[in-house]
């Protein structure tokens, strides 16, 4: 289990990015981490990896404290960063050089990914396109079989077929013992993959907090997503936008009407009404940070 306990962090004195952040993530899920630009999504992943240290509070990943960077912790966590460098070596050399640091690395699994990518392990990384390099790094991360897998904007640079391939690979590599956390602003790319959903929003004193952490089932039980010809003043509408045929809305759902989650509109709703969203979900464990 991953726990952020009253974590505060900022890059500049007197300007906290996070203050009193609380968040709990449990194994067996693919969490989607969403937030506006500058919300600190990448920062949160670096804190979780031990690459940055909290100013106060604590972070626990199972029995480990990330900032201590213990070998047993490092061999059970893998981060796919948004920006990365791949050495000018053949794919098989890259795999052999790095696989030894991960006790559960599965070479057959990695070979399968390389084949699925339409590549061979004899190809040089520096001769691959950006998207091909990224797929190799993602495949390697999946093949480590670490308890924690973090991905920062993994679909950036991937074409449409590769995004479908990515979703299929990630879904097939998760089990009850693994926690996957994907930071993204490409919500349409991952709408069918991520569940639960964690959304960051600005709260008091201009710092970011977890405004929502909930499963898709919880979200659609409390919110209704749909298209209406006109805005109804008698309905508790949280967000609306013009659409062909009327208005696309997100409204409170006291009667439990069925609807299909629209992740982009959910994101906009949370940014527009973070306090109300927190109130709606506070009756369950969906609220992670007040």
Q: How far apart are CA 203 and CA 258, in angstroms?
A: 30
Q: Which residues contact 42 (CB under 8 A, 6 or more apart)?
A: 81, 82, 152, 183
Q: Which of 51, 18, 130 is nearest to 84 (CA)?
A: 130
Question: Is this structure's pTM higher than 0.85?
Answer: yes
Q: How far apart are CA 242 and CA 6, in angstroms?
A: 39
**DSSP string across 3-61:** EEEEEEE-SBTTB-SEEEEEEEE-SSEEEEEE--TTS-HHHHHHHHHTSS--SEEEEEE
Q: How far apart are CA 120 and CA 136, in angstroms?
A: 11
Backbone angles phi, psi at 180, to 5 degrees: -115, 130
Residue spans of the domains in the chain: they are 2-194, 215-281
pLDDT value at residue 183: 95
Backbone angles phi, psi at 36, to 5 degrees: -70, 165
- Right CATH for 2-194 from 1.10.287.620, 3.40.50.300, 2.60.40.740, 3.50.50.60: 3.40.50.300
13 pLDDT higher than 70 = yes
For 75, other C-beta atoms within 10 Å of its C-beta total 17
pLDDT value at residue 36: 87
pLDDT single digits (tens) 214-225: 999 999 999 999
Q: Which of 96, 83, 193 is nearest to 134 (CA)?
A: 83
pLDDT single digits (tens) 35-56: 988 888 999 999 999 999 999 9
């Amino acid at each position: 289990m991953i726990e952020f306990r009253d974590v505060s962090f900022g890059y500049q004195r007197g300007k906290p990015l996070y203050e009193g952040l609380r968040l709990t993530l449990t194994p067996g899920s693919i969490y989607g981490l969403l937030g506006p630009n500058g919300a600190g999504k990448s920062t949160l992943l670096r804190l979780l990896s031990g690459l940055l240290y909290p100013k106060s509070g604590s972070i626990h990943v199972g029995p480990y404290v990330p900032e201590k960077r213990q070998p047993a912790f490092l061999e059970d966590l893998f981060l796919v960063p948004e920006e990365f460098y791949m050495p000018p070596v053949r794919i098989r050399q890259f795999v052999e050089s790095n696989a030894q640091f991960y006790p559960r690395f599965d070479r057959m699994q990695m070979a399968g990914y390389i084949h699925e990518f339409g590549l061979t392990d004899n190809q040089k990384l520096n001769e691959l396109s950006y998207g091909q390099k990224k797929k190799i790094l993602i495949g390697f991360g999946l093949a480590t079989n670490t308890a924690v897998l973090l991905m920062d904007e993994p679909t950036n640079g991937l074409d449409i077929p590769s995004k479908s391939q990515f979703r299929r690979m990630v879904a097939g590599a998760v089990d009850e013992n693994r926690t996957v956390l994907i930071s993204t602003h490409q919500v349409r790319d991952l709408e069918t993959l991520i569940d639960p959903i964690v959304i960051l929003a600005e709260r008091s004193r201009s710092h970011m907090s977890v405004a929502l952490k909930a499963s898709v089932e919880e979200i659609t039980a409390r919110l209704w997503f749909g298209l209406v010809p006109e805005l109804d003043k008698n309905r508790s509408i949280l967000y609306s936008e013009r659409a062909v045929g009327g208005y696309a809305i997100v409204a409170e759902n006291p009667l439990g009407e069925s609807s299909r989650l629209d992740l982009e509109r959910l994101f906009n709703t949370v940014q527009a009404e973070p306090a109300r969203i927190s109130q709606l979900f506070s009756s369950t464990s969906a609220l992670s940070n007040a």
